């Protein structure tokens, strides 16, 4: 599986925002979100819309350092609890951010918290931020999660990169993801090539796309695999099956739970 293009990530930000907005328009905003238990639906949407605006401001201003939340215009969401107004606010922020990303292109240098300092980072990150939290909203209201296969696969790849980056920076939970001779295989059974092999070494873990026998395998539909790997459902739900050492899979999920 390969990275999507900058244009495709921009398109997916808008597409996933449209899906989230459609859910919001017909929902009770006080509904708790089981996969983000500290938030109700309104708080989830404000988080996503605020993230869009924050990333958009970084790109638009060509920021060389992080921008404080209180310096991001209109990031707190609209007043009141009207679902339509909230959905319109969400859409407006996504459109403005995508406009900034498209104008900048993928290679403009800006601040990021990650492993590359390019606008491409923010296009990809906001596409996945919107997709995963859109899944949270769909699960909360009891509707199907809809994520295009290429984007769903790349949420897994990006999360592996985030955890690897955290481990390299000394995060105490990620630091425990080590120990030679063990491996974890993720296998989407409905999308050719959507497979990942995570190998634990004495100094940390590495990963690659491969179909090989592992200490434990998690296999099943790609969307369910994405949800489980992002800790949005249990590993034995949604048509998934765990083969081998379930304890190693739980070990990974528990220690990649930050963020």
DSSP classification of residue 147:
-
pLDDT of residue 257: 82
DSSP classification of residue 176:
G
Backbone angles phi, psi at 51, to 5 degrees: -65, -45
**Which tokens is 165 given?**
């980056």
pLDDT of residue 258: 63
pLDDT of residue 1: 61
Closest of 4, 16, 1, 21 to residue 147, by C-alpha: 16
Cα–Cα distance, 166 to 258 (Å, whole number): 9
Q: Does domain 6-146 match CATH 1.10.10.10?
A: no
Better-predicted residue by pLDDT, 184 or 257? 184
Half-sphere exposure of 222 (CA within 13 A, CB side): 20
pLDDT of residue 180: 82
Write down the mean pLDDT value for the chain.
96
Q: Point out which residues pair with 205 in neighbouring strands.
A: 200
pTM: 0.96
Half-sphere exposure of 133 (CA within 13 A, CB side): 28
pLDDT of residue 2: 74
Give the residue-averaged pLDDT of 40-51.
98
What is the percent of the chain where pLDDT is above 70?
A: 99
Q: Give the tens place of pLDDT for each residue, 166-180.
A: 999 999 999 999 988
Q: Which fold has domain 150-255?
A: Nonspecific Lipid-transfer Protein; Chain A (3.30.1050)
Could you tell me the residue ranges of all domains in the chain? 6-146, 150-255
| 150-255 has the same fold as 6-146 | no
Burial class of residue 244 (count of CB atoms within 10 Å of its CB; 0-12, 13-18, 19+): middle
How many helices (H) and strands (E) in the chain? 7, 5
Q: Give the tens place of pLDDT for each residue, 188-239.
A: 999 999 999 999 999 999 999 999 999 999 999 999 999 999 999 999 999 9
Backbone angles phi, psi at 169, to 5 degrees: -90, 5
Backbone angles phi, psi at 178, to 5 degrees: -150, 175
């Amino acid at each position: 599986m390969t990275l999507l293009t900058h244009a495709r990530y921009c398109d997916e930000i808008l597409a996933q925002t449209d899906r989230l907005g459609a859910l919001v328009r017909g929902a009770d905003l006080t509904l708790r979100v089981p996969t983000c238990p500290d938030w109700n639906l309104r708080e989830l949407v404000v988080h996503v819309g605020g993230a869009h605006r924050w990333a958009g401001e970084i790109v638009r201003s060509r920021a060389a350092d992080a921008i404080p939340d209180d310096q991001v215009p209109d990031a707190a969401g609209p007043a009141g609890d009207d679902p339509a107004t909230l959905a319109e606010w969400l859409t407006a922020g996504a459109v403005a951010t995508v406009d900034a990303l498209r104008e900048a292109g993928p290679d403009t240098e800006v601040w990021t918290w990650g492993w590359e300092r390019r606008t491409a980072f923010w296009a990809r990150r906001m596409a996945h931020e919107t997709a995963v939290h859109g899944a949270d909203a769909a699960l909360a209201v009891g509707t199907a999660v809809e994520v295009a296969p290429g984007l769903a696969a790349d949420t897994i790849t990006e999360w592996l990169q985030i955890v690897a980056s955290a481990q390299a920076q000394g995060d105490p939970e990620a630091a425990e993801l080590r120990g030679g001779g063990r491996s974890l295989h993720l296998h989407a059974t409905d999308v050719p090539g959507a497979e990942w092999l995570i190998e634990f070494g004495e100094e940390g873990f590495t990963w690659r796309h491969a179909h090989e026998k592992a200490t434990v395998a998690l296999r099943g539909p790609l969307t369910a695999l994405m949800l489980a790997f992002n800790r949005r459902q249990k590993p034995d739900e949604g048509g998934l099956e765990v083969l081998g050492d379930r304890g190693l899979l739980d070990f990974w999920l528990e220690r990649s739970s930050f963020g």
